[in-house]
Structures are given as C-alpha cells and as structure tokens.
A and B are shown apart, each in its own frame.
Chain A
Amino acid sequence: MADTRAGAASGGPARVAGWLQRHLPKIVVAPSVIAALVFFYGFIIWTAYISLTGSRMLPDYELIGFQNYQDIWRLSRWNTAVWNLAIFGVLFIGVSMLVGCVLAVLLDQRIRAEGALRTIYLYPMAISYIVTGTAWRWLMDPEIGIEAAVRNLGWESFTFDWITNRDMAIYTIVIAAVWQASGFVMAMVLAALRGVDQEIIKAAWLDGASLPQIYRRIIIPSIRPVFLGAFVILMHLAIKTFDLIMAMTSGGPGTATSLPATFMYDMAFQRDRLDLAATSAVMMLVTVTAIIVPYLYSEIRAGRRD
C-alpha cells in the first residue's frame, strides 16, 4: 500500500475517487484471482473430493473414505507409472539442463551464425507434441527409421530398436522430450549469461583466473536463479508429459511407458474409473507441491527483498 497514497483528498466525489484509486490495483487483479480460485483451486478441491468417492463413469458425490488410495498401489500399472516418472523425470530434467547449458556456453563463444543456430535449437519448442511424437516414432521405428536407413548404407548389423524393447522404450521418450525442451533451457541460460556483469569477469580475467575458474566462481553463481526457473518449467513439463507418450508409444510395449498422466487419462476416459483418476491426480499434485512450494517460498521472499 506504500505507493498508493496519491489520490488522498477530502470531499465527496474526491473521496470516492480516492477510494477507487487506492483499491484499483486490487480490483484489477480480482478477476484473475477469482479465475484462479475457481479454475485451479475449486477444481483441485473437486478432484480431491472425487478421489474420496466411488465415482465410475460420471461423478458420484457419496463419500467412501480413503479406499482408493490403498487400491491404487495394488495396481501394477500405477507402480510402473510412478517408477517410470522417476526415471523419466530425473533423466529428462538432468539431460535437458546439461544439453541446454552446454549449448548456451558453446553459443556464447562469439559464434558466427549464432542467430540461425539459436533458432534451430529452439524451434522444437514451437511444435506440438502430437506432431513431433509422430516424427520421432517414425525415426525410431526399426522397419522404416534410423535402423533401416543405416542398414541400407551397408552396416547390416546396426540395431536401434529401443522403441520396441520394453526395457528401453522409456529412454526413447526421454530423447524426444529432451529434443523438445533443451532448446528452451539453452535460451534461458544464454539470456542469463548475457546478463552477467562483464566488468567483474574482466577483472577476474586480469587477475589471472582461468576460464573454468571464472565459470565456477563467478558465472554459475550469478545465473543460479535461472537454473531454478528452468528446473521448475522442466518439472512442469515432465509431469504433464502426455501427448508425447500417446503419439510415440501409447504407453507400450505392454505398459512399459505408462506415466501417471497417461494412467490418469486411461482411468478417467478409457476405464470409467473417475475415482482412481482423481486419486492419481491428487497424488501427482501432492508430489508437485512438495517440490514446488519451497521454490515459491524462496521466490516470494526474494520478491520481498526487492
């Protein structure tokens, strides 16, 4: 409220105007807050409630307690999905970060045609998962894709059949997802690198610091917030990964590439088990909350310091 004293005045209409002036920021924000309360939090509560019912095809509002939370862990499909999310999440976030950082550092070496390269690395972000998933599925298909092409060149024993191999299929999803998102990390990191104070670096350089030292001591610490931001966005993408799975493997071979998002979709719309779908959604949300709330807290504290 510190900044809002401007309209303080006496008299009738002026007082109304003053009141309006003081409360205008809140009034402006109100629609978004209402939208968030209804569309995010209202629906989260609705989902949590449904997870405590025996809803099948359509919502049923009679409570049955926590039965679904026990049942879901007895489903092998759910266990596979959770385990896959752990593998996928760690690899996807880790590799995307690594590739993104490497690309950003390489691009930051006064590269000719930087603009074109940046666009090449970034463009996958522009295309929907349905489209890229289809393209990757072809490329990985042993009969028509990379394997066939390499064999045509004469290397007859070349094998790249991960997508049809239940132990490896999840890694093909990682490859496609990294391909899609790492350019975005590159853009964020590159932006941050460009924002680092050149004077400090120059000073360190003159003091005889080596390149790795400069990265470790000066550059990485000063772009740390970007890692956090990228981490949050990647995690958001990891948990929502759905279209990509549907386009590439539909969860197969068998159920080898199921993720919680595909589990939830199947339960809700293929199996008529709204209750289990809601239960899985609540568990995903709880997981996200555990990771995201500390981030939000630090974000907001940082905001307060400003």
Chain B
Amino acid sequence: MTELSIHGGANTASARLGRLAIYGALAIFAAFYLMPLAVMVMTSLKDLDDIRTNSLLALPERLTTFAWSHAWNEACIGTECTGLAPYFVNSLVMAIPAVAISTFLGALNGYALTKWRFRGANLIFGLLLFGSFIPFQVVILPMAQTLGFMGLSSSVAGLVLVHTAYGINFTTLFFRNYYVSLPDDLVRAATIDGAGFFTVFWRIVLPLSPSIIVVTVIWQFTQIWNDFLFGASFTSGGSQPVTVALNNLVNTTTGVKMYNVDMAAALIAAAPTLLVYVVAGRYFIRGLTAGAVKG
C-alpha cells in the first residue's frame, strides 16, 4: 500500500504539513517507547550521589561504568559475590538447547501437519494451540512431581524439557501457518520422484524456511531467556538462570540501595534479547510478512 501514501500533490503545502504531522506523531511515540530504557541506561551510568541529588530523568553529571562492572562480576547475590556472570552462562546453557529443540520440533510438526495431512491433523493442531492458554502457575506443582519422577529435578536437562514442552505449541503454530502457504505441489512432485518424508523436509521444505525460523527463534529465545517462574521453581543454588539471579541481586542490599547497579544488572540480563531484536528485528517483521501471523 506504500504506493498511495499521501501522494498526488507531493509538493503542496498541505501535503508537507501532513508529512510533518506523521513524523511528529512517530517521534512522540518513539519518545514514549524509549523513555523507560533511557531512564535505565542513564541511571546505570550515574554514581550514587548523582542519583540521590538529581531527578531520575536528568542526564548523568559524571559518567561512570562502575555499576556495570560491579553488576557483572562483583555484586553479591545471596552470600556469593560473583556478580551476574556465572548465571548469565547458566541461562545460555539452558536457552540454546531449549530454543534449538523446540524450534526443530515445531518445524517438523508444522511440516507433518500441513504437507502430510492425516486424519486428526487439525485436531492435533487445535490441541497444541489450546495448550498455550494454560496459566503457568498451575503447572508448577504437577511439573515438579513429574520431573522428580523422571529424575530430572533441579537439572538443566529438566529445565530444557520444561521450556521445550511449553514452547512446542507456539513453534508449531508459527511453522504450520507458514507451511500452509507453501504450494503442496512442491512436495507432491518430490514424492513422485521417490523422495521420502525426511528427504523432502531437508531438501525442499527447510531451505524455504529461513524467515520463519528467524521468527520462531526470536520468539522462543525471548520467552525462554526472560522466564522467571520456571527458572526459580526448577533450579537450585548455582544453577539458577540470570533472571532469578537478577531478582536476588536487586533484593540484596547492604546498607545503601545501589540503584545504578540494579539497573546495570537489569540491562545485562536484558542484553541478549535486546541484541537479538535490534540485530534481527527486521527479519522478524519480514518473517511475519511471510505468513507467520496468517489467521
């Protein structure tokens, strides 16, 4: 629809005014969206005196990176003064396999459900989709029992399993909606040539999927990285993910509350997902355009 925009008399005064209004509106929205982040970044770069004497929205008087280095490897979390660094690694170790497995399963499911339609395929899809509306607080206790029964409690493997199980529905939704719009003929032609289920998947379907894979990976990574409830419930001691450590760090105060360190820690914990959005954001929208949101 970009074609029509406010075109026609692009040079008239009223059109120019219109453009100005659009840019103005976009800028105001941008300011609103950036405000919390700006406050966090500014606070993290201030020293404590500055925070105490000046308002939250004021620019830093002196820039200091003390808060960042302190949050990264010195701040006390409970009785361990290690900073966020080790927990950051824990989160990576947990999130990477969980994202990979749930994305892969979602792709397989989406492919099987759309290109090899069998009786009950729609029902299965409906079952999976409905599952995403279960409130997570409900599943903690039965999940704990199940993990204990499987011998996976308080382990990274257990947490990966939990995140995979509760991610499959979304990954399947994304891939299924994308694959629905791929022409069936592609698959049919290949099967006539004798290609099997997996051959078609690897050779034909997967190479067509990078945009939807990006969408799914971004979504899953964000969800899993930012999870607090499962991480707190199913890990212990030094194996906690970074969100749990962040909560502990923010609540660990000795004497004076160090707002700058809290904010730096929050930004460190948020950095990977922020980075993913900034770097891959455009692919996200492109992937959505490619059909992920259809229906």
Contact = CB atoms under 8 A, between A and B. Distances in A.
| A–B touching in complex (CB under 8 Å) | yes
Interface of A: 1-4, 6-7, 21, 24-26, 28-29, 31-33, 35-44, 46-47, 59, 99, 102-103, 106-111, 115, 117-132, 134-136, 138-139, 144-146, 148-149, 152, 179, 183, 187-188, 190-196, 198, 201-202, 205, 211, 214, 219, 225-226, 228-230, 236, 239-240, 242-243, 261, 264-265, 268, 274, 277-278, 281, 284-285, 288-289, 292-293, 296, 299-300, 302-304, 306
13 contacts: A25-B118, A29-B108, A103-B29, A109-B19, A123-B277, A126-B222, A128-B228, A134-B262, A145-B57, A149-B55, A187-B288, A205-B4, A264-B135
Please provide the 8 A-B residue pairs with the shortest distance between their CB atoms, ordered closest to farther: A128-B226, A40-B131, A25-B116, A191-B288, A191-B289, A25-B112, A135-B36, A149-B57
B131 A139 contact: no
B55 A148 contact: yes
B282 interface: yes
A38 B118 CA distance: 22
Contacts of B19: 109
Interface in B16-32: 19, 22-23, 25-26, 29-30, 32
Nearest to B266: A131
Interface of B: 1-6, 19, 22-23, 25-26, 29-30, 32-37, 39-40, 55-58, 105, 108-109, 112-113, 115-119, 122, 124-143, 146, 164-166, 168-169, 172, 180, 184, 187-188, 191-192, 194-198, 222, 225-229, 243, 246-247, 250, 262-263, 266, 269-270, 273-274, 276-278, 281-282, 284-286, 288-289, 292-295
Nearest to B281: A119
A43 B55 contact: no
A264 B172 CA distance: 29
Contacts of B136: 240
Contact of B128 (A1, A36, A38, A191): A36
Contacts of B282: 115, 118-119
**Max chain A C-beta neighbours (<10 A), residue from B19, B124, B225, B227:** B124
A190 B285 contact: yes
A101 to B, nearest CB: 13
B1 A110 contact: no
Contacts of B2: 108-110
Contacts of B194: 6
A272 to B, nearest CB: 12
A236 B133 contact: yes
B197 A3 contact: no
Nearest to A293: B130
